[in-house]
Amino acid sequence: MTNRIIDFSTKLLDISRQKMELLSSTIEHIDDIQHNPIFMEEIEGLYLELFNEESELLEEKEMTMPCPECGFECARIASFCMACGRNLHEQPFKEDM
């Protein structure tokens, strides 16, 4: 995950800045926003768009590897296979050799 964050650091910082500005503006105008459901929906929509964009950037660079036991595609940063539970970073099993 660290490599993915470094690869997209400028874009992720920009998204964080946009989220901060949105939240700051929300706090500044909270009284007006609380009494207007349209404003609430717009703010929720904008925040969700930024959140999704951020998530997509992190997922885009995810590196995977097949589990040596069952072949399930696992994230390289995972410790265990999500399908069979094998420890992905231990020495190969004897039958693997």
Assess contact for 81 and 88: CB atoms under 8 A.
Answer: yes
CA end-to-end span of the chain: 30
Assess contact for 15 and 8: CB atoms under 8 A.
Answer: no
Question: Beta partners for 73?
Answer: 66
Q: Which residues of the chain have pLDDT under 70?
A: 1-7, 59-62, 77, 91-97
Token output for 53: 């964009």
In the prediction, which pLDDT does 61 show?
A: 56
Q: Is the pTM of this model over 0.75?
A: no
